[in-house]
Amino acid sequence: VTATVSIIIGSESDLGLAEKCGEVLSSLSIDFTVNVFSAHRTPDLLHKHLEEAEKGDTKIYIAIAGLAAHLAGAIASKTVKPVIGIPGDGGPLNGFDSLLSTVQMPKGVPVATVAIGSAGAANAGYLAAQMLSINSKEIADTLKSIREANKQQIAEVNKKLSEK
């Protein structure tokens, strides 16, 4: 089964970040799948999944991995479609190792890397939506509405602060 966005996590411990990203995609009515494939432990299964996704409707991949986070790069090596990497926030370095592993890609094999952890997971969903908004006025309009709501929320806070 393929979807517009394929979220691939390196292990079950990354599921919380996948759920955070999925919440954003769901709120924007963007279909997605979540699968677990390790770049190190199950590379053959990962490649098989990517072959199927490439034949289907997948337009964007989101990879979530911690520690020696090679998952996003492994995906990017097999597709020319956008790959967004979310560095996991666990381990002894609190995700800094994952950030460097995800962001430091060789020329010609890019991975769009977002922030470590939960904020990055949400932003990966928004970034995927922005990419899809190029060809979808509906998604673009929804994103603009979200930004306007954020702006109004900040204006309300400032109004309350000025009244004190």
Outline where DSSP puts E strands in 23-154: 32-36, 60-65, 83-87, 112-113
Domain that holds residue 55: 5-133
pLDDT value of residue 29: 96
pLDDT value of residue 131: 98
Q: State residue 137 phi and psi, 5-degree precision.
A: -65, -35
pLDDT value of residue 11: 96
pLDDT value of residue 164: 82
Closest by CA position to 68, among listed 43, 109, 40, 45: 40
pLDDT value of residue 152: 98
pLDDT value of residue 2: 77
**One domain for residues 41 and 87:** yes
Per-10-residue mean pLDDT, the chain, length 164: 92 98 98 97 98 96 96 98 98 96 97 98 99 97 98 97 92
**One domain for residues 122 and 148:** no
Closest by CA position to 15, among listed 94, 119, 88: 88
**One domain for residues 26 and 59:** yes
User: What is the domain count for the chain?
Assistant: 2
**CATH for 128:** 3.40.50.1970
